[in-house]
Amino acid sequence: MKSDRIKAYILVSIQFICLILIFASGRPYAKNYLSLALEIMGVALEIWAVITMGRHNLNITPLIKQEAQLVTWGPYRFIRHPMYSALLLIIWPIIIDRFSLFLLITGLVLTLVFIVKLFFEESVLKKHFVEYEDYMKTTKRLIPYIF
């Protein structure tokens, strides 16, 4: 559907603008050791999720490629959207470490975009994969055992 495509590109555009604003605001890592450890965990989770997803499934938009397979292994065993979780683990320590009202608002907008995007993506996945409903019953969206 054309409206789904437009919505997908708007969400991705806002996402990238927010990420650019956050990373361009200073050094791309936190000084605090705990924050830095969370960032490193986020980077590791992002790499694991991208490798698990594979080139044939990977899509920057929340739209599904025609030849895509439903991935339920690797980090996807625990959470349905590990790439979003990973990016949140990367950006929030930076925002907290270099706190400003601008970064806080940008981080909140990005978090909201991820939530809207994941609900949109899940509606698309349910239409594309019959087994997605069952998969949803066994996993959480962003945080294992919580949400």
Q: Alpha-carbon distance 133 to 122, whole Å?
A: 9
pLDDT in tens, 69-117: 999 999 999 999 999 999 999 999 999 999 999 999 999 999 999 999 9
CA distances from 50 to 65, 82, 138, 143 (A): 15, 9, 21, 18
Nearest to 60 by CA among 134, 128, 112, 10: 10
pLDDT in tens, 1-54: 789 999 999 999 999 999 999 999 988 888 889 999 999 999 999 999 999 999
Which domains are delineated in the chain?
A: 2-138 (1.20.120.1630)
Nearest to 10 by CA among 51, 53, 61: 61
> What is the model's pTM?
0.92
How high is the pLDDT of residue 56?
85
First vs last C-alpha separation in the chain: 29
Q: Alpha-carbon distance 93 to 97, whole Å?
A: 6
How high is the pLDDT of residue 47?
98
How high is the pLDDT of residue 55?
86
Q: Alpha-carbon distance 48 to 52, whole Å?
A: 6
